[in-house]
Homo-oligomer: A and B are copies of this chain.
């Protein structure tokens, strides 16, 4: 009897404890990609700590993450076609599907019901129920050739649309998934040669696709889809610069920063950050920086823009003041700075330093190091407040 009572007490103490351990808010959580080991860290940015690690996520090269609207679940898009749903509270994979042979990113619909993945093989977009990861629609990128086009630059847009670009076809498609089983497609042809990446502005109005095969960008105004695609920033690209350098890494278009009415974006093959007016998409400025920029990211209060660089300058981070349009600080976290993520209200920034197996957390005001966090070759960092943003 005594033993049983003790068992009763111990068991009951133990059981809720395992559950209690995960009873917490999810507003300050995040995910760090550990590419080499196919794992993620689950982190929190109130105290800047690691809560746990989840493994078995496959090839996480170029992996990206979106979050459920309750900020409990992370959807992780791997390079191998893997789509994984991770419970951040229970720290485990709840669903995982190899949905294609080769994929490149994804998005969650405005209402949170649907997950879309853009695929290289077979080329197209597949759409899944966010609860179950069961497939609800398939959009093959059939452009009248023998093969399907690779699809890139997939983003969510207001009114439950997804927008994406067809690399081989030179097209941009808009899928209205209000009826998730039967997406309504609008196709824009001849948008430019080889769109290689895309982004959408934070208000969901402007879709931009970078062009690998020519200079300039393709622009679609989603408030006026009937006006079609316009070519903007015709000087933007690889071809027009006499002093151009070898391009070490194509910049990520996700790394554009829009601060007020100005867009800051990475030049290709040049040690420059470019500035454009978002009203008319004319270039208005050029900011010399220490290397070829990769990510150009506005701090949430829009007073600073933080920049990282391609090899051989990927040990640096530069901070640009938005008003003066000049670098005001150069930091050297270490080799392999791959990504940056700001805490939601901007007081700190997490920087992944891959080759040092560390995340460095800086205070954005003082630009001093707050803490270093061990991680295995960290790349992308994603905080759950992305759940509440269009296009992230």
Contacts and interface: CB of A to CB of B under 8 A. Distances in A.
Interface residues of A, number: 60
Given A11-B8, A110-B347, A24 B388 contact: no
A10 to B, nearest CB: 10
A357 B67 CA distance: 34
B387 A70 contact: no
A145 interface: no
A368 interface: no
Which 3 pairs of residues, A with B, have the shortest CB-CB distance? A27-B71, A25-B72, A25-B70
A70 B44 contact: yes
16 contacts: A4-B5, A7-B8, A24-B70, A25-B72, A26-B70, A69-B344, A69-B345, A160-B347, A203-B259, A205-B302, A261-B261, A344-B387, A344-B389, A345-B389, A345-B390, A346-B390
A158 B27 contact: no
Interface of A: 1, 4-5, 7-8, 11-12, 15-16, 19-20, 22-29, 44, 46, 67-73, 88-89, 110-112, 158-160, 203-205, 223, 259-261, 279, 300-303, 323, 344-347, 365, 384-385, 387-390
Given A388-B345, A390-B301, A26 B27 contact: yes
Contacts of A88: 25
Count the copies. Answer: 2
A19 B20 CA distance: 7
